[in-house]
Structure formats: C-alpha cells, structure tokens
Structure 1
Amino acid sequence: MSSSSAAGLALAQPPLPDVSAAEKTTLTVIGLGFLALLVAAFDADADRARLSLYAGLALSSGAVLVWSWLTFGRKPAGVQHNNLWLRSSTSRGAVAWVAAVVLTGFYVLLYWYSSPDDQGNFGLLNGLVHTLDPFSQALRQRPADQWFLYGTFYTLAILLMGGRALWKYRHSRYQVIRTCSVMFFQLGFAFLLPGILQFFQQPEFYFTYFWPLKYDYLLPGTVDYLVQNGQALGVFMVFWGAVMSFLATPVLTYFYGKRWYCSWVCGCGGLAETAGDPYRHLSDKSRQAWRWEVRIIYPILGLIILVTVLMWLNHVWQGAILGPAADGLYRFYGFVIGAVFSGVVGVGFYPLLGNRVWCRFGCPMAAYLGLLQKHFSRFRITTNGGQCISCGNCSNVCEMGIDVKQYAQRGEPIIRASCVGCGMCSTACPRGVLNLENGPREGRYQGSPFIHADSLRILS
C-alpha cells in the first residue's frame, strides 16, 4: 500500500471522541487503586499492607462504578459500540496485549507459584493473601489462601463490572435481570455459601457447579470425602451434584436451552458477561473457527467422561485397572483443562480472542448442554428476514462466534449448540428481528413470523 493510500485510509476513519475530564479523573483513580494493590503485595508490614489493600479496593471499586455511570448512565439507553474497533484496548492493540499479559501472568502465579509452604508462605502472592486473613477468619474461621484471594477478586470483578452492565443495558429488561442473576449466584452461592459451610466445619461445596464442569464432584475420592466429612449434609451434596448433572440439567435445558446455566448461573459465564463484555465482539465468526470449536470441545467432554468412568472402575476394583496411574490421569486433566485452558487461556486471553474462549472451545459443561440444546430443547432464536437491514450488529455482539446476520437475512431460526442464549443479538438489533423463544418442538427448524404463546421476547 502506498503512503498516499495509507494516509487516505487513516483520514477515512472517524476520530475517537475526546475523553471528558471526569472520565480521565476516574480512570486515574482506578490506576491509583491498582497501584495501592501492588504496594499491599510487597509491603512487609502486615498492617500497612492490609490498609493499602482495602484502600486500593475502595478506590478502584468506587471509581469503576462512577466511570460506568459517566460512560453509560448519562447517555441515551441502547447498545452503543463506542468505537470498539478503533480503541487499542478493544481491538487487539497494544493496550489489549498488555492487559492479556497481566491477566495471564496473574493466573500463572496463582496456579503454579502460590502453593503454600510449611510456614504458610504463598510465594509472590503471599502479601496479598495474608492481607485478607481477617476477612477470611470472619467468614470461614481459617486464614486466607490463594484460592480465597482469587475468589474475592473474581467476585468483586463480577459485581463491579455487573454494575457497568446494568448501566449499559438498562433499556433491556432481560439483560438487567440476567446480569442481576449472575451477580446473585456468584456472590451468594459461589462465594459466601462455601465460606459459611467451612465456618460450621462442613466441607467446602459449590452448589452452582456440577459435573462435568466441576469434574471432581462425582469422582470417587471427592464423594468419599464429602460423605465422611459432611455426614448427612455430605450425602446431600453428592445427591445434589448427581441430580443436577443427570436429571435437572436435561429437564431445564429441554425447556430453556443452555442459557438457564451458561448465562444465568455459571460463574465462568458470569465473569464473561460482566468483566468480559467489552471484548465480546472479538470472537472469531469464521467457519474455520467453528470447525476448531467442534474438534476441541467434544473430545474434551469425551475425555472427562472417560476419566470419570475409569476412576470409578479403578475404585470399584481397588486399583486393578489403573493402579497408581489413576491419580496421574486425574492430575493431567486438572492441569491441561482445569488450569491451563479454563484459567490461563480462558480468562487471560479475553482482550485478544473474546470473552467466551473457554465456554466456546473447552468447557465440557457447555458441550453437554449444547448437545441437549441442539437435539432435544424447545429453545431457539427466531428471525424475521423481511425486517433485517443487514447492519451486522447481531453478529458483532455474538460472543460465541455465530454469524447471526446470515440467519437473520434468510429468516431462519438459530439453533446452534454453542449459543448461550445471552440475548445480546436481539438486544442490539434495531428492528426487532430476533426473538428468544421456548416454543413447541414441532416446526422448530422452520422460520416463525410470530411469537409463540410461551415464548420469551427480548425487550430491546
């Protein structure tokens, strides 16, 4: 490309709007909050480190909420793309790469460089972990560890960025309720309740995670641990996990599709829908990406099924099948899928590959729900091709890499195993072309020019 052509292309791009002084101030405060967290991480004085941590969390949390209101609350309601493809932070630019490196580095430290030694030292995260000791003692009656630190930051990210989502999508009743749902389940069931169980000397248990996502909950070692240490409550935990995995999940997916879990309950989805929302447009919509999705996610589901079956057979026959290799098989899956894929890649690559990398390519629960949704569910997204203006808003906001516009142009219903039912395509459509429905299975693969009586229309 010649220099004159490049200059002409640069001139053709609209300039980014100026950032107001108020927004710059809040961004500065957020930066100061993160700086205070760094001070807490490396300050040898425990009291001063704790003060720095709480000051940093207060500064960054308050500033994020104020920034969200300044950015979205003062503007007219509606999905606004806000020059996403022009900003370095949301178009795989330098800022996005820095963010990806920081996130990936944090997960690497968390998984492999923060295991405690005999003195309770958590490596490079030791300072941050121990600043939360009073909070952990109050909630769980035990000192903090690296996973309590992670859970605290994880929950705070969902709550704060959930507040941002509420401002941004306040015009859509569906999005508001859905966002409140993931915030509620993360705070109540994935953070507070496990801590309360530990406070009363019961096994830590997450009622919103089931097999095959929480793969160890139905493995022999975990089942024995829950029954022996939780007694009656432990038996209920095992029963709950089995019922939710094999009975409730198929029933709920039949009626509502995989959205009942992936977009309303799951903590992984909750982080993707809140903290990952600025990156949803980065998901690859190509057919090649879809082929890789199929090649990866279903073998992972098959692998955890195989691991579960082999572990139980090995348990029943007292090690006659795998022997000591059983523990190695379990650790291999936990390392490759549970740590590298779901953590390091699944979250660390948000700014580069979009917010649903793990859900789209690796999550065995998403694969399980997707098969049910594709072949047995009443759920679909209906389209009205006569009203479609081919603006592409629906495809741009689809975090699962579905080219929604192609379906809308043809007036075909969208029945895809990967669709998590977030409803953002319908919320972003300026013509009301797309509707999420739970209609009868008869005629499910045919276009529907009207809304069925028991369907759920997205208010946009």
Structure 2
Amino acid sequence: MSNKLNHSMSLASPDGYGITTTQKIAVALGSVGLFIMILAGVNIDFPNRSLYLTISLLSIVGGVILFSNQAYLTKQEGIQNDGVWFKSISSRGILGWITGIILTAFYIVLYFYPHYLGLTPDGQANTGVISLFDPLSYLLSGNPASQWFVYGTLYTVAILAFGYKFMLKYRHNKYQLLRTGSVMFFQLGFAFLIPEFMARLNGDGFNLPYYDLKNIWPLNYYNFDQYRINDFINSGTLGMALLIFGVASIFIITPILTYKYGKRWYCSWVCGCGGLAETAGDSFRHLSSKKVAAWNIERWLIHTVLVFSVIMTTGLVYSYLSKDASKYWLDADYFLIAVGLFLTLIFAGTMLFKRHELAKDAKYGAIGYAITILALLVLYASDTTDHVFYIKSGTLRSAYGVYIGSLFSGVIGTGFYPILGNRVWCRFGCPMAAILGFQQRLFSRFRITTNGGQCISCGNCSTYCEMGIDVRAYAQKGENIVRSSCVGCGICSAVCPRGVLKLENDSMNGRINSKDVLLGNDVNLMELMNNK
C-alpha cells in the first residue's frame, strides 16, 4: 500500500478538501430527492404523489444527516478550521457561485413567476412541483398547495435537516444546542404547522388570515393591511385575540424580552430568517464583510428600510381608517396624531437620556425622525381615500412588498448566502432587526464581555461573526461588545480557543465601557473593576 506524501510545509494546507465515500453516497441520496422534484417540475405525472413526495423529502433529509454524521461524528468535539477558505462552495469559488445562482433563480421564480412551478388559477388543478405537494397540503390545511406552501415546506425541511448538522458541529457547546433546538421548534410549530391547522378553522363567515405567531411587525409588514384587519375583526374572539397579541408583541413583549436578553431572544432563538441563516447558511457565515465601509452601509440601509416601513404602514392604516371610518373604533386623525406623539416621545427620551451613548449616530436618528414626521404631515394633507402621499395606496404597498419583502429579503437575502454571507437580510435590510438593535443598544442588559489579557489575536471570532463585527478589535481592548447589529448567536465565543468572550445579562452599569478602557490611565482601576 502506498500513500501520497504531502511535502507542503504550509500551516494552512493549500490542498483541496475532498469528501469521503460515505459523503459521496449522501450527496447522491440527496440528489435523488431533488431529481424527483425536477421531474415533477417538468410535469412528470407520478402515480402516487404522496409516496414520491415522501421519498423526495426523506432522501434530502437523509442525505444531509448521513453527510453530517460522517463530517463531525468521526472527529473530536470542538471547532476546527477545516479549510473553509479552500473549499470552492464556501470561498466564493465556482461551486459557491453556481449555488448562489441556483438559489437566486429559485427565488425569482417563486416570487414573480410561480406558474413555472405549476401554480394555476383558482379552481384549476395544480401542475408541476406544486402539485407534488398537494397531498401534504390537503392533509394539513384541507386546501391545495400554493407556491408559499411549497416554499414553507422546503424552508422547514432545510432548518430541520441543517439544524441537525449544526448541532453536530457545535455539540460541545450547550448554548448552541439550545438555541438551535429553539429555532427548529418555532419554525416547525409556529411558522409551519400552526398556521396550516388554523386554515382548517376557516369557513362561511369565518376567515382567519394566515398568521405566523412569531412574525412581528415590521417584519410582517402586511399584518395591518385592511383585509387582514377585517378578517381578524370578523373572526370574533379568536381573531381579536390574535390582533391584540400582534399589537402587544410590538409595544410590550418585544421591549421586555430585549431588555432582559438582548435581540438574541428573537434573532437567534425564534426568527425563521435567522433560523435558516444559522442552519443552512452556517457554512457561509465567514463571508460577511468586516470592512468599515460595509458597517456604514449597514447602518444607513437598515434604518432607511425601517423608516420606509413605518411610513408605509402608517399611511396604509390611515387611508382605510379615513375611507371607512364607521367600521373602526379608531379615528384616522387621532391615529396619525398618536403615531406622531409616540415617535416624538421616543426621540425626545433618547436624546435626553441616551444621547451620549449614541454619539454621532444621534444625528442619523434625528434625520430619520425628521423624515418620518414630515411624511406624516404630507399624509395629513393628501387625499386619503385612495392615495397615500399622493401615491395609490396599493402601489406603495406593492412596491414595498416587491423591493423589500421579495427582492431584498428573499432573492438577495437568501440567494446570496454563498457570496455575501448568511445574514445579508438580517444585517442590511430587516426592519425588525433595526428596532431590536435600537432597543439592545440603549436599554438592554445583554452584552458580550471580553478578557483582553487572554486574547491571542487568532481572529477566529471576527472570521466567524456573521454580522460583520470585528470582534477581535473589541477583545484586544477588553471592551464590552454592545453593537446594535449583534444577534447574540454566540459563535464568536464558541470558536474562541481561550475563553475570552462571554455572553452575559447583567446590570446597565458599566455596560458601555469603551471610554473607560481606551482612557485607562485616567480612571481609578480599582473603582472601575468594582463597578463591573
């Protein structure tokens, strides 16, 4: 028996990283499942769709499980850098670009050309891939499948299968196991099964809208559309309870949980977008840009989307309150005044009590506030019957849904995983992340503490930060990490070989300590340590 001798003296091996025979079998098994869907896509008529759908989904899940077992259970626990920058799929190589193109094409077809997937007008039988999912849809909700049911099923399967892979990879870390189990639970139950079961309740005079209970405005920007509000009201006690829960989630539940645990309670433990990014997108987390320029774009872009979402939602609600005032208990003008006063209260309180913590970002906050208030004044002066800001209300809503809800969150946010990293949407576009980040920055007990004396500057933390934070820069100074964009995934702590980083919930005192650390010669060190 002869072995090929590797003469390379490189610490980071330049050789390609292949896959084992078992993993090749796993890839072939998963390909069988995908091939069945491709056959369905070209209108192959399967004699038993339930059987072939089951075979397809089980083949995909089985392939991922088999591949993951071989990849991680044959090694010791802990994180090793297994050449992620030398693998084509995870280093923007040819496989990465091919994967990105395929994902992007799928999202474009899903959002804009669902008839290519087999969606037909109401009353006609589905064809193609969508028809393959009809049996499962009838089983759960009693209705034929739609492109969104197909997407939801594949989305859930991806989180469950790749969640298993993620748990094997990080099996040495209890925090990672718990939060991954959490996102798998919420996706399967709250995002997939419960809404489908709720659809069975619909009937004559009772039309409860599709409702993922964990999706909170402004992430579900459509929740306060007129048709949904009408359906909630017409559905009696249950509908009103869901509507009240949606409002309470925004103003009560979210701030309390963010104060106690930071935005990680949602972004890393509950959210479906974050769940897919953490599981299926884990292999691409190191691709997120750590440049200051990317950080500047992030801060402008995500808050621009938030301002757009606030203005659009306010305008839409105001338009139908004005047009059909007798149907709703809330007066349109009072609603507009309440929104303006609420935003003013938030802005004034922030400037009065937290101005020094925002630093130069306070100027950007003032710009956003001014634009929003100006928009409310324009709204008050416009024709509210059919127009919002002199634009047809349907056009405004449609534009937001296409450019933000579809192109940004779907096509770019997920399709570009292999190119820009796994948290493109969460980092640059999600308005929910913007709100939670604002709350986390200003009044959350959460922070990542650092022990600069133990840092060896290996860079693992910064490399694997999916939100583009240069964690090492904070660790080297012993500075707490309280960035608005931090989702508290804890991977930086999991990959640190020295235990430098720790996720903590503590008092607000000493939480933001950059000045104390940078000007260490000007402070009483014993007093500083006692305060922490």
Question: TM-score when scaled to structure 2?
Answer: 0.79
Matched, 1:435 2:498: no
Once the two structures are superposed, what CA deviation does each residue of 1:201-242 show, in whole Å capped at 9, x if it has no partner?
Answer: 2432110001010011133332122211x2211101110100
Partner residue of 1:141? 142
**Pairwise CA distance, 1:45:** 1.5
Question: Could you tell me which residue of structure 2 aligns to residue 458 of structure 1?
Answer: none
Opposite residue 136 of structure 2, the aligned amino acid is F
Post-superposition shift, 1:147? Answer: 0.7
**Alignment match, 1:189:** 190
Larger mean CA deviation between 284-293 and 71-80 belongs to: 71-80
Conserved? CA contact 2:17–2:86, under 8 Å: no
Q: Which one-letter code corresponds to 1:113 in the other structure?
A: Y
* 1:284 Cα deviation after fit: 0.2
8 Å CA contact retained: 1:257, 1:377: yes
State the partner residue of 1:291: 296
Distance 1:428 1:285 in 2: 17
Does residue 118 of the first structure (1) align with residue 121 of the second (2)? Answer: yes
1:248 Cα deviation (Å)? Answer: 0.8
Distance 1:69 1:13, change over 3 A: closer
Matched, 1:340 2:407: yes
Contact 2:85 2:91 (8 Å CA) reproduced: yes
User: Aligned equivalents of 1:71 and 1:121: distance in 2?
Assistant: 46
- Kept in 2, the 8 Å contact 1:90–1:278? The answer is yes
Distance 2:67 2:100 in 1: 22
Task: Measure the CA separation in 2 of the matches of 1:18 and 1:227.
Answer: 58
Change over 3 Å in CA distance of 1:326–1:312 after alignment to 2:
same
**CA distance in structure 2 between the aligned counterparts of 1:37 and 1:81, rounded to whole angstroms:** 34
Amino acid at match of 2:54: Y
SS at the partner of 2:89?
coil
* Paired residues for 1:255-270 under 5 Å: 255-270=260-275
Residue identity in the other structure for 2:28: T
Distance 1:418 1:122 in 2: 45
- Indicate the SS of the match to 1:144: coil
Which stretch of the first structure deviates more once superposed, 241-250 or 43-52?
43-52
Partner residue, 2:456: 389
**Identity %, equivalent residues:** 46
Task: Indicate yes or no: 2:320 matched with 1:312.
Answer: no
- For 2:128, give the aligned amino acid: G
Match of 1:155 in 2: 156
Are 1:426 and 2:432 an aligned pair? no
1:28, distance to aligned residue in structure 2 (A): 2.1
Q: Which runs of 5 or more residues in structure 2 are unaligned?
A: 1-7, 203-207, 325-382, 518-524
Structure 1 pair 121–127 and aligned structure 2 pair: CA distance change class (3 A): farther
> Residue 318 of structure 1 aligns to which amino acid in structure 2?
K
Preserved contact between residue 218 and residue 242 of structure 1 (Cα < 8 Å): no
Residue 12 (structure 1) shift: 7.8
Where does residue 214 of structure 1 map in the other structure?
Answer: 220
Aligned residues of 2:134 and 2:144 also touching (Cα < 8 A): yes
Q: Is 2:284 the counterpart of 1:279?
A: yes
- Give secondary structure in 1 for the equivalent of 2:222: helix
**Paired residue type of 1:396:** T
In structure 1, C-alpha distance between the alignment counterparts of 2:384 and 2:408, rounded to whole Å: 28
Indicate the structure (1 or 2) with the bigger Cα radius of gyration: 2
Partners of 1:45 and 1:420 in 2: how far apart? Answer: 45
- Does structure 2 retain, via aligned residues, the 8 Å contact 1:218–1:241? no
- Cα distance in 2 for partners of 1:301, 1:9 equals 51
Q: Distance in 2 between matches of 1:61 and 1:397?
A: 26
Alpha-carbon contact 1:114-1:122 (below 8 Å) kept: no
Letter in 1 for 2:314: V
- 2:69 maps to 1:69: yes
Deviations 1:133-165 (A, max 9, x none): 121111101111111111000000000000001
Q: Of 435, 438, 446, which residue of structure 2 is paired with 1:371?
A: 438
Within the alignment, does 1:31 sit opposite 2:31 as a pair? yes
Q: Which residue in 2 is equivalent to 1:357?
A: 424
Work out the CA distance in 2 between the residues paired with 1:220 and 1:11.
61
Q: Which residue in the other structure is 2:171 paired with? A: 170
Equivalent-residue separation in structure 1 for 2:96 and 2:53 (angstroms): 25
Q: Which ranges of 4 or more aligned residues in structure 1 deviate by more than 6 Å?
A: 8-12
Q: Which residue of 1 aligns with 2:467?
A: 400
Give distance in 2, aligned partners of 1:216 and 1:307: 10
- Aligned equivalent of 2:376: none
Is contact 2:224-2:317 (8 Å) kept?
Answer: no
Deviation at 1:16?
A: 3.0
Instruction: Report the TM-score when normalising by structure 1.
Output: 0.91
Structure 1 residues 191 and 119, CA gap change in structure 2 (3 angstroms): closer
The answer to which of 50-59 and 416-425 deviates more is 50-59
Quote the Cα distance in structure 1 between the aligned partners of 2:99 and 2:49. Answer: 24
Matches of residues 44-83 of structure 1 in structure 2 within 5 Å? Answer: 44-47=44-47, 51-83=51-83
**1:342-373, Cα deviation, whole Å (9 max, x unpaired):** 01000000010000000000000000000000
In 1: Cα distance, 2:225 partner to 2:23 partner: 50
Task: Check whether the contact 1:40–1:52 (CA below 8 A) recurs between aligned residues.
Answer: no
| Residues 349-404 of structure 1: per-residue CA shift (max 9 Å, x gap) | 00100000000000000000000001111111000000000000000110000000
Tell me, in whole angstroms, the C-alpha distance in 1 between the residues paired with 2:41 and 2:313: 39
- Unaligned runs of 5+ residues in structure 1 are 1-7, 456-460
Q: Distance in 1 between matches of 2:317 and 2:289?
A: 38
Deviation at 1:49, TM superposition (A): 5.5
| Structure 1 residues 72 and 120: alpha-carbon distance in aligned structure 2, compared to 1, 3 A threshold | farther
Distance in 2 (CA, whole Å) between partners of 1:340 and 1:12 is: 38
Q: Deviation per CA, 1:314-340: give whole Å up to 9, x if none.
A: 122218426151111111101110000
1:323 partnered with 2:386: yes
